[in-house]
Each structure stands twice: as C-alpha cells, then as structure tokens.
Amino acid sequence: MPSPFPGMDPYLEDPPRWPDFHHRLISAISDALVLQLRPNYYARIEERVYLSGEDDPGWSIMLPTFRSGYRWEQEIHEARLNVIYRESREITTVLEVLSPGNKVSGARSRENYRLKRDEVMHTRKNLVEIDLLREGLPMMAQELLPPHDYMVLVSRAGRPERADVWPIELAQRTHHPDPSAQGRSRCTARCAGSHQSDLRSGWL
C-alpha cells in the first residue's frame, strides 16, 4: 500500500532499518541511471569503509542495540554510486546519499564522509549529495538556505568552492536537478529553485 506519510517515510530513519534502505536506494538509483548513461558511461556501486567503536558519538545511531563493555572497533560500510566514463574508466561523478551517522557531530562517519567529499570536490569530479534525513546536524549552514526538509547539492568538476543547492520542503513534490545542465537549473515538478552557495563558508 502507498505510504501514508508525505515525503520520505520517517520510520526509515530508524537506525536498524536505515542500512538496508540505503543500499536499496543506491541500487535503485543505479538502475534508473543505466539507460541515461549508455553508451559512454556506466554506474558502479562502491563502499566507503571506516572503523567505529563505542567511543564514537555516532555508534548508537549505527548499532543502537549493541553494547559489549569492551573497547573494540567494527568496520562500517556505507555505499555510494560512481559514474564512470567507459573509454578512460575514470570516475566523473560521485553520488552520495547521506546516512544518519553523517549528521552526528563528531561522529567518525561524519568526519570520514567530509574527508572523502573534500577529496572528490578537489579533483575533476562532479559531486551529487542527497540529504533525505530530517534529523541530525546538516552538512551546510542552514542560514544560507530557505526553510526546507530535504536537500540536493550538486558540485561540478573544477568548481570546488561553489555548488548548486536545491532545498525541498515536505509539502513539495520531489524535483530532479540535472547535474549536466551547465549554468541553469532544471526541475520536472514544482520546486523552490536552485541556490548558488559559497562552500568556503557554507560547510559545517
């Protein structure tokens, strides 16, 4: 049956459910892109891996029911999608869907994601960052944007200090920014429009 909730089902933010949903969503995005990318590009799902332990502020978000009483660490895997140019096999675009741990202050998940994001943005790659989570510390300073519940950020290759941001309110239909649209924003449904952000002062 259809979800009774507007926007994303809030129960999917429940930590035990999120990892499975996250992987399924990344896979669904990959499947949806196949025909649009052919024949010159293809999508490949990869994982970002880091260690987390009970001293990690994000531990209770990722493994909320696990307590051992011992100081040990566990590998955490977070999926992301890479778009690859077939001829050179170079990654041209990295698509990330934020996880709850990415939005916890001081969490290893957040710090690991920030390092990987900065690495992508300072190379010749595009970055698409999708935030479907209403809880947690945002990745951008909120005073730079109008009120919103969800957000899509697109940073194009060669412009590490600038990005296009699409804030999405819960009452709106989902819109689809087109990262390939140079110098313009494209929405297939009612949307608030894109906002140019200076990332030198916008990241938290």
Tens digits of residue pLDDT in 29-65: 999 999 899 999 999 999 988 888 888 888 877 665 5
Q: 66 pLDDT exceeds 70?
A: no
Compare 182 and 49 and report the one with higher pLDDT.
49
For residue range 83-128, what is the model confidence (pLDDT) as tens digits?
Answer: 999 999 999 999 999 999 999 999 999 999 999 999 998 888 999 9
In this predicted structure, the answer to whether residue 187 has a pLDDT above a threshold of 60 is no
Average the pLDDT over each of 2-6, 18-22, 81-85, 122-126 and give the range with the smallest value: 2-6
Do the beta carbons of residue 160 and residue 121 sit within 8 Å?
Answer: yes
* pLDDT at residue 196 in the model: 59
pLDDT above 70 coverage of the chain, percent: 72
What confidence score (pLDDT) does residue 59 get? 81
In a domain, 190, yes or no: yes
Q: Within 13 Å and on the Cβ side, how many CA atoms surround 41?
A: 18
pLDDT at site 181: 45
> Has residue 3 been placed in a domain?
no
19 assigned to some structural domain? no
| Overall domain count for the chain | 1
Q: Name the strand (E) or helix (H) holding 59.
A: helix 59-62
Say how many C-beta atoms besides its own lie within 10 A of residue 127's C-beta.
22
- Which comes out higher in pLDDT, residue 14 or 195? 14
107 lies in which domain range? 24-202
**In-domain check, residue 187:** yes
- For residue 16, what pLDDT band results from cuts at 50, 70 and 90? confident
pTM, two decimal places: 0.79
CA distance 24 to 63: 19
**Among 4-13, 70-79, 152-161, which range has the highest average pLDDT?**
152-161
Q: Rounded CA gap, 35 and 84, in Å?
A: 14
Cβ contacts of 12-16, under 8 Å, gap ≥ 24: 13/100, 13/133, 13/134, 13/135, 15/60, 15/61, 15/62, 15/63, 15/64, 15/100, 16/64, 16/65
Structural domain includes residue 89: yes
Mean pLDDT (the chain, rounded): 80
The tens digit of pLDDT for each residue in 121-178 reads 888 899 999 999 888 898 877 777 788 888 999 999 988 778 888 888 876 555 454 5
Q: What pLDDT score was predicted for residue 182?
A: 44
196: nearest Cα among 153, 150, 165, 159: 165
pLDDT at 67: 54
Judge whether 4 lies within some domain. no
What is the arithmetic mean of pLDDT over 1-22?
73
